[in-house]
Amino acid sequence: MTTTPDDVLIRPMRDEDVPVAERLSSHTFLELDLRTVPRSWPEPEGRSPGRAEKWVERTRRQLVTDGGGCWVAELSTDHGVELVGYATSVARELMWVLCSYGVRPGLQGRGIGRQLLEAATHHGRGCLRAMLSASRDPLAVRRYHQAGFTMHPQMYLTGQVDRAVLPVVEKVREGSAGDIDLMNSVDRLTRGAAHLGDHELLLGHYRLVVSDTSTGAGYVYVDGLGSPQLLAATNRRTATRLLWEALAASDPLVNVDIAHVTAANPWAVDVGMAARMELHTSGYLALRGMKPPTPYLHHGSLL
């Protein structure tokens, strides 16, 4: 354990820290949005109770599987001890993934984040590859660049899906836990490492759609609105089919997002444009030891 000159202690995260870290994370990202989102965009909102619950469940699980990858920063004041930063990460096969990372607004830019990231990175010391989805915060991007990551801009598409343009989608079916081996194989081919137990978590949170034919295989996790959360496939045709199936399930009156699209995945831009959605950019896919996966739309924290 290390102590900064500012009376900040970096120590392993404990189970009782998780709900406090979640509130800190929600506050930190809301503050970031208020600071950086263009005025013409809708007013930023904090994390919904449903998403907060998922954050806590996911992080508690990561503490069990990857305790060495999860750290907090604790500040001692006259009023007691307060949690002011956190970094959670997992190692999956030869891949290290930074899942969530934040320092309380007002204390940022003073070196707390650097120490947290160093502690979490140590968990991935045996990994050849690393990935994380970086926010648009210049402080975060600087940290990742100094840690040896290459930045790949992320696009996203948003809007209501025009029903008139939906194609007939064939060769897809609902997935289940019985598809985990298949999905791990597709993960290894696309991003170089399987998600392993993360598939169990994702299955509990989202609808799974699978395509498995003689010419290609792939899967997509879809949230309740029809937004894809993680998509991987062995070829573009299969990926395109899965993305259309996700969009087809969306409510025509609700905005859907296709997030985390890198330039290596123009097929996803083609689908979103054909569905008459808007194209924007936000943040970066930060990579070490690998190229942007394709055909692939990464998950924001499990990547």
- Contact residues toward ligand COA (CB under 6 A) are 28-29, 32, 101-103, 108-114, 134-135, 137-140, 142-143
Location of structure tokens 């899906």 = 161
Helix residue spans in the chain (DSSP H): 18-36, 49-65, 112-122, 138-146, 180-190, 198-205, 236-248, 266-274
To ligand COA, the closest distance from the beta carbon of 109 in angstroms equals 4
Distance from C-alpha of 252 to C-alpha of 270, rounded to nearest angstrom: 19
Nearer of residues 245 and 257 to ligand COA, judged by Cβ:
257
To ligand COA, the closest distance from the beta carbon of 32 in angstroms equals 4
Nearer of residues 136 and 171 to ligand COA, judged by Cβ:
136
Q: Name the residue whose CB lies closest to ligand COA.
A: 113
Task: Please check whether residue 74 is in contact with residue 82, taking contact to mean a CB–CB distance below 8 angstroms.
Answer: yes
Nearer of residues 159 and 300 to ligand COA, judged by Cβ:
300
Nearer of residues 103 and 243 to ligand COA, judged by Cβ:
103
Q: What is the DSSP string of 23-81?
A: HHHHHHHHHHHHHHS-TTSPPP----HHHHHHHHHHHHHHHHH-GGG-EEEEEEETTEE
Nearer of residues 154 and 238 to ligand COA, judged by Cβ:
154
Location of structure tokens 């801009």 = 153
Nearest to 12 by CA among 81, 88, 84: 88
To ligand COA, the closest distance from the beta carbon of 134 in angstroms equals 5
234-to-96, 121, 187 alpha-carbon distances in Å? 22, 30, 9
Distance from C-alpha of 214 to C-alpha of 227, rounded to nearest angstrom: 27
To ligand COA, the closest distance from the beta carbon of 262 in angstroms equals 15
Distance from C-alpha of 215 to C-alpha of 149, rounded to nearest angstrom: 34
Nearest to 146 by CA among 113, 175, 178: 113
Nearer of residues 36 and 215 to ligand COA, judged by Cβ:
36
What is the 8-class DSSP label of residue 273? H
To ligand COA, the closest distance from the beta carbon of 173 in angstroms equals 34
To ligand COA, the closest distance from the beta carbon of 104 in angstroms equals 8
To ligand COA, the closest distance from the beta carbon of 276 in angstroms equals 30
Nearer of residues 132 and 172 to ligand COA, judged by Cβ:
132
